[in-house]
Every structure is written in structure tokens, then in C-alpha cells.
Chains A and B, each alone.
Chain A
Amino acid sequence: MSNALLDFEKPLEELQDQLTKAKQIQEKGKVNVDSVIKDLESKIEKTRKDLYSNLSAWQRVQLSRHPERPYSLDYINAITDGHFTELFGDRQVKDDKAMIGGFGEINGQTVMFVGQQKGNNTKMRQYRNFGMPNPEGYRKALRLFKLAEKFNKPIVTLIDTPGAYPGLEAEERGQGEAIARNLYEMSILKVPVICIIIGEGASGGALGIGIGDRVLMLENTWYSVISPESCSSILWRNWDNKERAADALKLTAIDMNKLKLIDGIVQEPVGGAHSNPGGMFDTVKAEIIKHLGVLNGLSPEERVKRRIDKFCSMGVYKEG
């Protein structure tokens, strides 16, 4: 396991060091340390299970941002087994690198994929604008949604963004309008729409590609109106209360599912999606196939009606 460890995974560090040493000794071949290695491996396994069986909201937020976590294109390439053609541009201003999309194939069925894309090194992170789309990104997404609708292809969106980009040009080109338009248009798309939060689901930037017949969250992701850090800085006027804010916002998959604001949780491998990406991709693929099967059985009118009714039923209030 070469994964970078998060602060709460510290108990694993020493065990992993020991394991590395034991393996080195083994390689030199002078002493038989098989039993020691086995011992350490099972200890690591158990410690990891314990750590992951009781994650706090903030720890899940950390996992959702793990630098080795798979991003949208990783999922799409794996799920389609490489049968994916990326399509670019919003046909108006430019191509937004923070929002990707295109046609792919799952089990012989064409699917339109759209998702925010983060980069996996400093250069690529900048290139992808840290997964923060500009209005062009949302308009590109909408263009692809409409293309899918025209040819009756289902849509899968993969959500992973720290927010829509709050820049000057984004304001000039109508960030608010671009997101609003997507909420409106996605509500009435005639084809099945599945939205999966694979990392961060920050506010309007996430919701802008998040109106679906099924909205699913991977186990270690978050989805809310604001990030815990920003929430802390607004309500407590500092960043020190991010853990408390994470709890208060009820932003984990478990909370969101309990509140009926999403349609389901997708289990991650123990240790998070990055600890076993292959396993994660298989699970996500199976989920897509499962939900598409159900959704394909409904008429477009029925799907749209249920989709609108679902979002319209969200909200708790007192009457009288």
C-alpha cells in the first residue's frame, strides 16, 4: 500500500513501516519472515477496518479530497473499458477543462457521461481549475445533455467539485444563469439521468449537473450548500470550527440518505475509493447498470414527473 495517509490514519503508519521492513528482509532471503508479514498484514487490515467503521463527518470530507482518489475520467475510462470519446466545448465561448463529457459505452449501451474533472498533479490541477467550472462548463454540460436527449441516450453525471468558480469572468458570463438553466433543463430531460457524487459535492456548482432520476453518493463523499471550512468562516468567523461545521451540516452520504435528499449510497472499499480503485469502478458500473435497468422501464413522461415530484418534495417546514 503506497497510499498517502490522512491524519486520522496515523495508527497505520507504524504498522506499514514494519511491513515494508519485513518485506525487505524477506527479499534478501536470509530469514524466513512469512509469519511476521502475515501477522502485520492482518493487523493492518483490522486497524483499517476499525478506523473506517466509525468515520466522522470531517474524516469523510478529508477522504473525499484524498489526492489519490479517482476522478471522473478514471471512472469513465474504466467503466466503458476505454470505449469513450470525449467531446469538447460549449459552442459559445470555449472548452472548460474543469467539466468533461462525452459518449461512452456500457454493455453495448451508449451513455452520455458528464462530470467535473480534477487534476492529479500541480500542473494538471491548475489546468483543470481544481474542478471548479466556469459558466462554459455548465453550458457544455447542457449541450451534451441535449445531444443525449436528441438521440435518446441515458445520462450519467459524476460530481466532484469544490464549487463553481467564483471569478470575475465567471460573473461576467453569467455563472448564476448557467447553473440555473441547467437546473431547469435537467428537470425535464426526457432520458434517464443518474448523478453520482464521487468526491466533493459543493453547493450550486455540484447541483448544476445534479438533477437526476437517481442521485447517489459514494460512501466517503460530501454534499451540501457550503464547504465546512467556508461555513465555519461565516458562522464562527474562523476556520477552526470546520469539524463542528461538518457535523452540523449533515453532509455525509449517510445523513443525506437519512434526510431523503439522495436516493442511495454506494459502498466504497475499506480504506476509501483510492485504496482499491478497480473495485470501486466495478461497484459504480454495477450501480449504473442496475439503475438504468429500472429507469429504462419507465416512460419519459413518468420519469420527468417523478423527477420533478421528488425534488419538489424536498424540504421540512411547519404548517399553522
Chain B
Amino acid sequence: MSWFKRIKEGITTSTSEKKETPEGLWYKCPSCKSIIPSQEHEDNMWVCVKCGYHERIGSAEYFAILFDDQKFEEFNMNLTSDDPLEFVDTKKYSERLIESQKKTGLKDAVRTASGMCNGYPLTIACMDFRFIGGSMGAVMGEKIARAIDYSIKHKTPFLMISKSGGARMMEAAFSLMQMAKTSAKLTQLSEAKLPYISFLTDPTTGGVTASFAMLGDLNIAEPGALIGFAGPRVVKETIGKDLPKGFQTSEFVLDHGFLDIIVNRTELRTKMGEILGYFAH
């Protein structure tokens, strides 16, 4: 026998009287499963206060973290893809683009801007993973190239924040050639003796890793980021074995000699100031 007897059947609270927790008040860490107030999570730069897991963030957040007083001048805000191949798979690429633009409020997967960081001038190109997986097409290549031109013209260091699955398949060979284009452009930055800092965040794979992301005077990364050329699934299929723990993480890549340092996002701003100082003095 139960202790209580239900008098009325079913849920009787009317919808308007329901008491709901407002959405977004809490953040659940996918790594340690801790539940943290969203404001506290945001104040900690979207890094889990319990386990240090770095939640993926976009250009708006990185710009806010890095630019002094959150002030910056953004470039080429209206550059968009032209779908030169009229690519159609299960959906038209042109429609995919419009959908992504509506969903994210972004024009493409990279934003470029210049401003001051810890009192030093700095030009930043930062990817947005939300826009078709941060994939690299002609718009990304061109915006990066122009940001490098700006760096050269105004003699500022260049910071590239990568967060991308790689090339954008729907632009096929055009996207492949962006690897060549950006790498060639970096030779000019180098010629001008301006520092290039490549900042690799989760994830940085494929054509982005195999071009500008690995070409920094300094290669730095956020902790725990997936960094590699081939994706882990492909590598696993190739070798027919399970991958070792920690394979293709920032820490793994640093141990194999391809990163200079790993920087916690909460210390990014300070560290950037320090690094820019080394080059400036």
C-alpha cells in the first residue's frame, strides 16, 4: 500500500502557472558533468571552473577577451561565398550558406579585425566553428590574406585563431588552393619581419593544420584541443586499432614538438601581452 493516495488524476497545473527555470541559467560541463551557474562559467571565459574543460567559443568571445576595452575595427564584413562550382550534394551549397548565415548571424567562418591588445597593436583573424564547421573556403582565404596585408601595411603582429574541420568540400579545389594562398601570403609577413602567432583551438584539423595553423613563429594552443591532419576516425580506420589515450590533443602535439606552449584561456590575455612584449622590446 502506498502512503499517499492520489485524489486528482493527471497534471492539473495550467501551463501559465508552471514554474520553469529560465533557460541558460546553468551550464553542464560535458567533461566532468558539473553543473555551474552560467554567469560564473562566462566569467571564467567559458572554461569549466571545476575541471578546466574549454568550451568552444567564437570570434565574438575571443575578440572580447583579447582586444583592450573590447574595441576593434573589423574588416571585410560583407565578403561572402559565391558558390563558383554551383555545388549540389543532398542540398544546394548556396542554400546551405544562407541557412548558416541566418542561423549564426555570421557571413562566413572567419572574422578579421585589428585593435590593441595589452597596449600593443594586433591584427586577429578568428574562425567560427558554428559556420559550416569552421571550414575554409575562398572567403576565409581572402579575409586572412587581407588581414595579413593590413598587418604588413600597419606593421602589426598577426594572430590567427584556428578552429576548423579543414577545407570546405563544396568549394573543392578552390578551397584546396586557399592552403597555398594563405601559406604564400605568410611568406610576405615573414619578409616584413612581423610576428605571426598561430593559436590552435579545438578543433584544428585537415587543410588548416596543413597550412597556416602550423606555420606560426609561435604555435600556441588551448589545453585539450583536438589538433591533427587526419581526423581521429580516419586514423583509426587506417591503423585498424584503437587510438592511444590523449592522441592528437594539444598536449600530445606539444610532446611531439609541434607546439611552443599551451595556454589556458583564462590566462590568454596576459600571455599574449607577454608574448607581444618579447617581440616589441
**Complex Cα–Cα for A236 and B89 (A):** 7
The answer to whether A242 has its CB under 8 Å from any CB of chain B is no
Is A256 an interface position by the 8 A CB rule?
yes
B contact residues around A203 at 8 Å (CB): 167, 176, 207
Does any Cβ of B come within 8 Å of A224's Cβ?
Answer: yes
A168-B239, A250-B85, A250-B173 as given contacts; A314 in contact with B79, CB under 8 Å = no
B169 and A231 within 8 A (CB): yes
Q: A225-B169, A225-B175, A312-B145 in contact; A180/B84 too (CB < 8 A)?
A: no
Q: A166-B229, A187-B183 are in contact. Are A225 and B141 (CB under 8 A)?
A: no
Q: A261 near B177 (CB under 8 angstroms)?
A: yes
Docked Cα-Cα span, A308 to B180, in Å, equals 9
Interface centre among A204, A207, A241, A245 (most CB of B within 10 A): A204
Q: A308-B188, A317-B142, A320-B78 are in contact. Are A224 and B210 (CB under 8 A)?
A: no
Minimum CB–CB distance from A93 to chain B (whole Å) comes to 12
B232-246 vs A, Cβ < 8 Å mask (1 yes, 0 no): 001100110001100
Contacts of A308 in B (CB 8 A): 184-185, 187-188
Q: Tally B residues with Cβ within 8 Å of A.
A: 60
Q: How far is the CA of A311 from the CA of B185 in the complex (A)?
A: 9
| Complex contacts, A256 vs chain B, CB 8 Å | 173
Would you call the interface of chain B mostly helix, strand, loop, or mixed?
Answer: helix
Across-interface contacts of B234 in A (CB, < 8 A): 166
What is the minimal beta-carbon distance from B134 to any residue of chain A, in angstroms? Answer: 15
The contact of A180 among B215, B244, B256, by CB within 8 Å, is B215
Interface hits, A139-180 → B, CB 8 Å? 164-168, 170-177, 179-180
Chain B residues with CB under 8 A of A188: 187
Tell me which residues across on chain A come within 8 A of B211, comparing CB atoms.
179-180, 183, 204
Once A203-B207, A225-B172, A248-B89 are accepted as A-B contacts, the answer to whether A318 and B80 lie under 8 Å apart by CB is: yes
Which chain B residues lie closer than 8 Å to A181 at the CB level?
214-215
Note all chain A residues with C-beta closer than 8 A to B42: none
Interface residues of B (CB under 8 A from A): 76, 78-82, 84-85, 87-90, 137-139, 141-142, 145, 167, 169, 171-181, 183-188, 206-207, 209-215, 228-230, 234-235, 238-239, 243-244, 247-248, 256-258
